[in-house]
Structure 1
Amino acid sequence: MRSASDDLTARARIRDAAIAAFARDGYDATSMRTIATQAGVSAALIVHHFGDKNALRTACDDYVVGVFIDEDHDLIVAPTRDRIRTALNDLERYGPYIDYLARMLADGSAAADRLFDSFLANTRDVLADQREAGMLEPMSDPEMTTMLLTLIGLAPVVMRAQIARALGTDQLSPAGLLRTTLPTLELLTHGIYSTTALLDGARDALAAEGNTPRGDAS
């Protein structure tokens, strides 16, 4: 008789094999038989644990999103030196999940939309925590800011090849991450303009058109 721990181990093997296969070949080109072979299980066992391929994809999506959410939350809300150093030196283990996201976010499916929405929701939650912790400046449109930050976070995943070509290094490599960290945080913390002239002009122009900012709830 199969034990509960055997089931959990098999389920994890299936999930990890599916993540690797979907990342490499795409969802449509990956068969349940391929995943079963790579996981060292039968196709029937995949059905036992997940039902069908679409449900397996959903489980993979949830797991990958959870990896990034669980690992990043404490760092973002309480960015101590040790947590930042750990994050900068722990990139390699995220490799399979980054490859998975790059493939699955770009396939134009409803599942890709759901995956994107999961990251958008997580960004919203992180900003809410940071707002409560007194870390944020007021925002004219918090929801749009949430969207922009989500795009900043996912762009290196979806446009990895283009960014690597332009920079001369993979932004998601250890060297690329080291190069990216300070400029990104400088941009988010201080901005890039030394005066408010452009912002003030935009506010005046929008007000003249009858577009008033939504305002931050903080």
Structure 2
Amino acid sequence: MRSASASPGPDDITATARIRDAAVRLFGERGYDRTSVRDIATAAGVSPALVIHHFGSKDGLRDECDRWMLAQLSDKRADALGAQAGATIQQWLAEPEQFRPLVDYLAMMLTDGGEHGRTVFDLLLAETGAMLDASVADGTMRASSDPEARALLVTLHGLAPVILRGHLERALGGDILSSAVLARLTLPSLELYTDGLYSDSTMLDAARAAIDAQNEQL
């Protein structure tokens, strides 16, 4: 293992990034259990011993991949909500392939039934809740009768294309990460969030009345 007091040089940092990027891609494509340290080392152009030197174990490498992936998601979400949101969305639509490793890796994490998937879901839920609360506070979003439940629904809506990617691609007749499919989904998604679905409050009023009546019987 590397000494805690040693400062990594440029070559060391480059090798670490290559190993991590190779692991993210292979874990996402094949799954964690079907990817070996040797597979990752070969893809990164290093020895298996160097993988262990940098990360300690295959589990240690996955932990680093998880942290990197979460940081990427946070950064890209911040870009989409910032002052340059229009330019960011345009860039995403022009270069959707850049997201394939992230999408594959996130799908792997969320569907493998392990602690990693639970952790990433909880973190995404917490981050979504914080983003919604901040947006309500600054007036860019409306308040909710149940902020926690709304955060859960928004999180699920965002993750559905990742988990149900095959069904979505079959329905749309194209790769979810193609510019054409992304462009087709962008406006309807934002219309749904911006304008809502119903033209009046009939369904909302009926649901509130039904819930109030049920509560009165308890």
Matched residue, 1:164: 169
> Does structure 2 retain, via aligned residues, the 8 Å contact 1:119–1:150?
yes
Instruction: Spell out, residue by residue over 1:17-67, the C-alpha distance to the aligned partner (whole angstroms, 9 max, x if none).
Output: 111111121101111121112212222222221111112111111111211
- State the alpha-carbon separation in 2 of the partners of residues 92 and 103 from structure 1: 18
SS in 1 for 2:32: coil
- The corresponding residue for 2:114 is 109
What is the rounded CA distance, in whole Å, between the counterparts of 1:196 and 1:81 in structure 2?
31
CA deviations 1:75-101 (Å, max 9, x no partner) are: 224364323322322322111111111
One-letter amino acid of the counterpart of residue 117, structure 1 = D
Contact map agreement 1:50 1:56 (CA 8 A) in 2: yes
Are the aligned partners of 2:22 and 2:40 in contact in 1 as well (CA < 8 Å)?
yes
Matched, 1:143 2:148: yes
Structure 2 equivalent of residue 123 of structure 1: 128
What's 2:195 paired with?
Answer: 190
Give the match for residue 4 of structure 1: 9
SS of residue in 1 equivalent to 2:215: coil
Do the aligned residues in 1 keep the contact of 2:99 with 2:177 (CA within 8 Å)?
A: no
For the residues of structure 2 that align with 1:79 and 1:126, how far apart are their CA atoms?
17
Alpha-carbon shift at residue 137 of structure 1 (Å): 0.8
Q: Could you say which residue in structure 2 is the equivalent of 1:59? A: 64
> What is the Cα deviation at residue 206 of structure 1?
0.9
Question: What is the rounded CA distance, in whole Å, between the counterparts of 1:85 and 1:123 in structure 2?
Answer: 22
For 1:175 and 1:117, locate their aligned partners in 2 and report how far apart those are by CA, in whole Å: 31
Deviation at 1:168, TM superposition (A): 1.8
Partner of 1:216: none
User: Which aligned segments of 4 or more residues in structure 1 are displaced greater than 6 angstroms?
Assistant: none
Runs of 5+ consecutive residues of structure 2 not aligned to the other structure: 1-6
Shift of 1:169: 2.3
Structure 1: how far apart are the matches of 2:104 and 2:128? Answer: 20
Partner of 2:45: 40
Which structure 1 residue ranges, 5 or more long, are not aligned? 212-218
CA RMSD in angstroms, aligned pairs only? 2.0
* TM-score under structure 2 length normalisation: 0.89
Instruction: Give the aligned partner of residue 74 of structure 2.
Output: 69
Contact 1:77 1:130 in 2 (8 A): no
Summarize the Cα distance change of 1:195–1:85 in structure 2 as closer, same or farther, 3 Å threshold: same
Question: What is the rounded CA distance, in whole Å, between the counterparts of 1:77 and 1:139 in structure 2?
Answer: 22
What residue number does 2:157 align with? 152
CA distance change for structure 1 residues 180 and 79 in 2, over 3 Å: closer, same or farther? Answer: farther
* SS of corresponding position for 1:129: helix
Percent pairwise identity: 46
The aligned length equals 211
Q: Tell me which residue corresponds to 2:182.
A: 177
Counterpart CA distance in 1 for 2:71 and 2:34 is 25
Name the CA distance, whole Å, in 1 between partners of 2:214 and 2:82: 38
CA contact (8 A) 2:25 2:101 kept: yes
